[in-house]
Amino acid sequence: MASVAASPTNSHAALYTASYNNSQQNQIYQQNPFQPSQNQNPYQSNQNFPNTNNHLSSAPVPKVLRDMNHLSQENEDLSLQQHRYANQVEYTSANDAGEFRSFYTFQNVSPPEATSQFHAVDQGTSSSKFIRSTMYYVPESESLRAATKLPISVTIRPFAPLLASEEPVPLVDMKRDDIGANDDPLSKGPIRCRRCRTYVNPSFQFTNDGKFMCNICQFPNNVVPDDYASVLDGQGYRIDRLSRPELHKGVYDLLVPDEYNFGGPEVHSQPLHHIFLIDISEQSVKQNLPVIIADAIRATLYTDDYDLDNYDPNEPETPNKRVKQKFAFIAFDKSLHFFNLSPTLESTQVVISSDLEDPFVPFSEGMFVDAEESKNVIEDALNQLESFCSQETVADSETCFLAACRTAMLCLEAVGGGKITSILSTLPTWGPGALKYKDNKNVGRSPAPLMEKRLYSVDNEYIKLLGRDFVEKNVGLDVHVISPTSVDLSNIGWLSSITGGTISRSSNFNFERDGRSLTAKIINSIKKASGYQGQLKLRCSNGLQVSQYYGTSSSIADTSVVGSVQDPVIPVLNEDQTFTILLEYDGKLSTKLDCHFQAALLYTDPDGVRKVRVINLVVAVTERLEDAFNFADENAIVTTIVRDTLSFVGKQPLTELRESVNSKLVEIFTQYRAMSEYGHNTTRTLTNQLLFPDSLVHLPIYLLAFIKSKAIRDSTAISSDVRLADLYQMLSMPIERLMYLLYPALIELHSISEEEAEFEPTNGFFSLPKSKEVSASHLQKGVYILCDGMKVYVWVHPESNMMLVKDLFGDQVESVEELNPLIDELPELPTHISEQARNIVKYFQTYIVGDSSLESAGIRLVRPGIDGVEHEFRELLVEDSLRGSMATNSSLGYPEYLSNLHKAIRVKLDNDSSSNKVKQSVTNAENHHDTLAQRLIHF
């Protein structure tokens, strides 16, 4: 639901609300799946919710842009920053009584903007933090869907972080060990539908005769086991439902019996094992990386109450019996250096192996150790690691990274898999699977399609095999590339991506400036790991089926790992992973029922406990095109289009991909316009107006930004590694980060008010000031903070007010030129503006970039005309057209882009044949229930 309208300051919205209420509101209510009459939601009947009528009534109407000639970023309706701000304020500002608005998952239909912070109340269907659908009114049939040209997909983030004030994800013991061994194995563990294996969820309909009906497949004859039976109350609900989270929550973890273990009931699930794979080649030593890694490992293992974080006091184990995550170190250059960390040793032992053809695990005891038990030995090992930097001997210039990966895999194989966190400083050219620079003969030109295919796709057989083994053995790989030159991410990135790992890349590494960010990334690799041995399965109502997974092993084509629509295996899981799943129709949805989704992620948590995370989503089914449009979710749609497009990199030339993004946009808008003209607002059609679907107002700017993103931008200056690093990150990053990556936040420091940029003490909400539009024309001579989801930039104009500069950087600064270009944080000063600025950075680092350990550090200083990074900063101003070598003709400014879009729609509608097709598709979708006679009237 377009939340622009919810903002009381928006006069348009108020106007539209009134008219909308008359015509459509009733119908909406009828369609609302959460009405008590449908007996779907147990809460409606016995819970009193605050009146959210105001919110619900703010239904969308077509937005009309009056004059194409005065199109500009200042237009409030089109401003994405305004939209984000308004949406944010709605949830993060308290009302007069000091209460904050919550998002109720059943009552409030469309989720808040992805970038918003909000407090969600789980009412039996999951909040958008965990699962976000592209449509909250799902078209009942393919033809209706086709008329919207919008994809149906869900984007799941299984381990989304929750606010401290929100209820944690409940853990339900579903081991049901007391079931006799002779029983049917299918009846062991969680209650599931016998036909489609859906896990028990709030939408199961229990009957009085000990059976239940599955909400996904409608199979009515499931038998409730005796130990789970319960009496129903007067309204047909189980009386124990409120004591059982799996019967009233949208998201919950189920403890499962040993039969669900990876490798069968005989295999004992182990706590998560980590391997640090550290590059100690010449290039790495030159950049002092071993020192940083050692620091990062120390920080990960020994600072703060890391171990306590993992410790769930509700678990039945006593603290001293608690199993812990284990760690191992392997360093590599031309050979592999294993560290024996056994707590029985006084100091570590380094074991060097140079047999790369037949890698093997040199020892077992002392390979993986508990961080506390082996503290001294680990410390010794880290010291040795640091000493690599001070050694006089010449380090090897080549590395055997891939053989190292294989060896690490062998180490992890014995413990059921685990996570490799690797540092790579140079192209691995030694040993088996050695990579070569992919020579790009098209430097300075756009590569030919064939060349692109070669540049962007996996072509190393060793890596392909390694990838298969990694997935099979549940080994995940995080790669942190710190290299000024290419390391061939088309191969290495692929490997990391299919195993659920993350990729980070830094080409212009400076020890002083970037050390801290790298440390934070490594800490994240360990701390954000939320499990391993994952298997994801999405189940959905009859009529839909899974068509494609993005961001997992099964989405990467050209791997024989698993087929493209098989349920993905995700070797390692982390908090930031999101999976987009595209759906297709294999039948028709019933409008009498809702559309149910259940994403079940079977995984082993870091402590070695086997669980299933169940995420349920209930959305309505509609037979009306408007509903489909009006309840579409912009963020999810952008995510889906981005990921779908990216999955074709390497198969199709980038030019085609960019074109297809454009034509997709034109299609959607054309369909919408056609719908508006035909069904309801025929009178209002004005050819010089661009009609925006209210829920998709910002689709053009997002897609424009996407076309300009490094991953697919039309530019000859971007190396394939840069493209691929972004590409692989975009495939799995959280939606809000993707939104920021496409369209950054830009905070103007000199104009923020006193009260802004503060953390709310009670619930941690941050009052983020309103961003400026990301365009050079908005940059004044002042200081700005920009966050693009990956980095935080502080832009200081050389002619900024010196008072402001002094307040931010300290009194000793006399001019902007004096500032140390290598600072990575704003100094802690007693001024209010300094605190605000640092708060803003901290908020970005923690919630958007996801490097919470950085606090308010890790910034990049940008001074136009002084710092080289200005160039990079300019590229982020997506509303501007890019100049020079940054891009070529396709990088239009926003206004031009919109007018081009408008033209394209007009051309499409005016062209007879295509216009007819469009019209017909809309008509068909609208009227396919009608009689032949009625249909003829339309023609």
Is 578 among the residues that bind other proteins (CB under 8 A)? no
Looking at the Cβ atoms of 363 and 437, the one nearer to other proteins is 363
Taking the C-alpha atoms of residue 591 and residue 33, their distance in angstroms, rounded to an integer, is 10
765: tokens are 């909400």
Cross-strand pairs, 538:
599
Taking the C-alpha atoms of residue 855 and residue 835, their distance in angstroms, rounded to an integer, is 12
Segment lying near other proteins (by CB under 8 A), choices 39-47, 230-238, 361-369, 431-439: 361-369
357: tokens are 């053809």
Which residues in the 745-774 window bind other proteins by CB under 8 A? Answer: none
Helices (H), 631-784: 634-646, 654-675, 699-708, 720-732, 735-742
Is 352 among the residues that bind other proteins (CB under 8 A)? yes
Is 365 among the residues that bind other proteins (CB under 8 A)? yes
List the one residue from 88, 110, 384, 497 that touches other proteins (CB under 8 A): 384
Phi and psi (nearest 5°) for 331?
-105, 155
Q: Which residue has the tokens 């935080």?
A: 792
List the one residue from 54, 347, 885, 888 that touches other proteins (CB under 8 A): 347
CB of 288 to other proteins, least distance (A): 19
List the one residue from 96, 358, 755, 912 that touches other proteins (CB under 8 A): 358
Segment lying near other proteins (by CB under 8 A), choices 192-200, 277-285, 351-359, 779-787: 351-359
Is 67 among the residues that bind other proteins (CB under 8 A)? no
List the one residue from 218, 349, 446, 564 that touches other proteins (CB under 8 A): 349
CB of 140 to other proteins, least distance (A): 56
Q: Which residue has the tokens 């801290």?
A: 516
CB of 337 to other proteins, least distance (A): 8
Looking at the Cβ atoms of 353 and 923, the one nearer to other proteins is 353
Is 364 among the residues that bind other proteins (CB under 8 A)? yes
Segment lying near other proteins (by CB under 8 A), choices 168-176, 347-355, 467-475, 664-672: 347-355
List the one residue from 189, 190, 366, 534 that touches other proteins (CB under 8 A): 366
List the one residue from 96, 184, 305, 346 that touches other proteins (CB under 8 A): 346
Looking at the Cβ atoms of 129 and 337, the one nearer to other proteins is 337
Please, are residues 412 and 475 in contact by the beta-carbon 8 Å criterion?
A: yes
Taking the C-alpha atoms of residue 567 and residue 553, their distance in angstroms, rounded to an integer, is 9
Is 362 among the residues that bind other proteins (CB under 8 A)? yes
Q: Which residues of 508-530 are buried (b: 16+ CB within 10 A; e: fewer)?
A: ebeeebbbbbbbbbbbbbbbbbb
In the shown chain, the binding pattern of residues 117 to 156 toward other proteins, with x for contact by CB under 8 A and - for none, equals ----------------------------------------
Cross-strand pairs, 784:
748, 795
173: tokens are 């013991």
CB of 335 to other proteins, least distance (A): 7
Is 681 among the residues that bind other proteins (CB under 8 A)? no
Rounded alpha-carbon distances, angstroms, from residue 672 to 217, 675, 915 = 33, 5, 13
Looking at the Cβ atoms of 233 and 365, the one nearer to other proteins is 365
Phi and psi (nearest 5°) for 515?
-55, -45
CB of 86 to other proteins, least distance (A): 59
User: By CB under 8 A, how many residues form the interface with other proteins?
Assistant: 28
Segment lying near other proteins (by CB under 8 A), choices 77-85, 362-370, 607-615, 798-806: 362-370
CB of 340 to other proteins, least distance (A): 6
List the one residue from 348, 486, 533, 645 that touches other proteins (CB under 8 A): 348
Is 410 among the residues that bind other proteins (CB under 8 A)? no
Looking at the Cβ atoms of 29 and 360, the one nearer to other proteins is 360
Helices (H), 339-445: 375-390, 401-413
Looking at the Cβ atoms of 26 and 387, the one nearer to other proteins is 387
Is 355 among the residues that bind other proteins (CB under 8 A)? yes
Strand order from edge to edge, sheet including 211-213: 205-206, 211-213, 222-223
Q: What residues contact 602, with CB distance under 8 A and at least 6 apart?
A: 256, 260, 533, 534, 535, 536, 537, 610, 611, 612
List the one residue from 342, 545, 689, 899 that touches other proteins (CB under 8 A): 342
Phi and psi (nearest 5°) for 133?
-100, 155
HSE on the CB side for 936, CA within 13 Å?
A: 3
Taking the C-alpha atoms of residue 915 and residue 906, their distance in angstroms, rounded to an integer, is 10
Is 163 among the residues that bind other proteins (CB under 8 A)? no
List the one residue from 68, 323, 350, 869 that touches other proteins (CB under 8 A): 350
Give the CA dihedral 781, 708, 699, 147, nearest 10 degrees.
Answer: 170
Looking at the Cβ atoms of 81 and 340, the one nearer to other proteins is 340
List the one residue from 64, 163, 213, 345 that touches other proteins (CB under 8 A): 345
Looking at the Cβ atoms of 241 and 337, the one nearer to other proteins is 337
189: tokens are 């563990």
Segment lying near other proteins (by CB under 8 A), choices 336-344, 743-751, 876-884, 931-939: 336-344
CB of 355 to other proteins, least distance (A): 5
Please, are residues 555 and 548 in contact by the beta-carbon 8 Å criterion?
A: yes
Pairing mode, if any, of strands 595-604 and 610-622? antiparallel
3-state secondary structure of 621: strand
Is 392 among the residues that bind other proteins (CB under 8 A)? no
List the one residue from 338, 401, 470, 765 that touches other proteins (CB under 8 A): 338
CB of 351 to other proteins, least distance (A): 5
CB of 336 to other proteins, least distance (A): 9
* Helices 894-910 and 654-675, axial angle in degrees (round to 10): 60
CB of 414 to other proteins, least distance (A): 7
Looking at the Cβ atoms of 16 and 338, the one nearer to other proteins is 338
CA 754 to chain CA centroid, Å, is 33
Looking at the Cβ atoms of 344 and 914, the one nearer to other proteins is 344
Rounded alpha-carbon distances, angstroms, from residue 174 to 445, 508, 560, 913 = 59, 50, 35, 59
Looking at the Cβ atoms of 163 and 345, the one nearer to other proteins is 345
Please, are residues 863 and 798 in contact by the beta-carbon 8 Å criterion?
A: yes
In the shown chain, the binding pattern of residues 411 to 450 toward other proteins, with x for contact by CB under 8 A and - for none, equals ---x------------------------------------
Q: Which residues of 384-412 are buried (b: 16+ CB within 10 A; e: fewer)?
A: bbbebbeeeeebbebbbbbbbbbbbbebb
Looking at the Cβ atoms of 384 and 483, the one nearer to other proteins is 384
Q: Which residue has the tokens 């993004």?
A: 661
Is 817 among the residues that bind other proteins (CB under 8 A)? no
Segment lying near other proteins (by CB under 8 A), choices 75-83, 96-104, 342-350, 563-571: 342-350
116: tokens are 């918003």
Is 390 among the residues that bind other proteins (CB under 8 A)? no
Please, are residues 361 and 407 in contact by the beta-carbon 8 Å criterion?
A: yes
* 909: nearest Cα among 691, 709, 633, 636: 691
CA 31 to chain CA centroid, Å, is 30
Judge residue 57's burial from the number of C-beta atoms within 10 Å of its C-beta, 0-12 exposed, 13-18 middle, 19 or more buried.
middle
Taking the C-alpha atoms of residue 438 and residue 377, their distance in angstroms, rounded to an integer, is 41
Looking at the Cβ atoms of 362 and 679, the one nearer to other proteins is 362
Residue type at 546 in one-letter notation: V
Segment lying near other proteins (by CB under 8 A), choices 236-244, 311-319, 334-342, 568-576: 334-342
List the one residue from 68, 232, 323, 351 that touches other proteins (CB under 8 A): 351
Interface with other proteins by CB under 8 A: which residues? 335, 337-338, 340, 342, 344-355, 358, 360-366, 384, 387, 414
